[in-house]
């Protein structure tokens, strides 16, 4: 799978969906509940912390025209 720039492709759609759910949770409930949710959902801690601590790196929707 080709990479563009510094962005990595979402290889695991289940993890990507859990991260998206957690980001919605941040807006409603805050960072701590979102982190706990991701840990329970099996999102690697490194990814969870990067997503929650660096909002400038959040993905903004699906970039593909056609789903896989």
How much is the pLDDT for 56? 64
Asked if residue 18 lies in contact with residue 42, where contact means CB atoms within 8 angstroms, the answer is yes
pTM listed for this prediction: 0.64
Q: How does the average pLDDT of the chain come out, rounded?
A: 78
27: pLDDT strictly greater than 90? no
How much is the pLDDT for 48? 92
Asked if residue 18 lies in contact with residue 38, where contact means CB atoms within 8 angstroms, the answer is yes
String of DSSP letters for 1-68: ---BTTBPP---HHHHHHHHHHHHHHHHH-HHHHHHHHHHTT--HHHHHHHHH-GGG---S---SS--
How much is the pLDDT for 63? 56
How much is the pLDDT for 57? 57
- Average pLDDT (20-44) is 92
More confident call, 54 vs 47: 47
């Amino acid at each position: 799978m080709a990479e563009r720039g510094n962005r990595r492709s979402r290889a695991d759609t289940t993890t990507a969906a859990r991260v998206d759910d957690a980001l919605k949770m941040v807006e409603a409930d805050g960072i701590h509940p979102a982190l706990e949710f991701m840990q329970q959902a099996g999102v690697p801690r490194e990814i969870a912390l990067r997503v929650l601590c660096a909002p400038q790196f959040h993905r903004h929707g699906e970039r593909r025209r056609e789903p896989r």
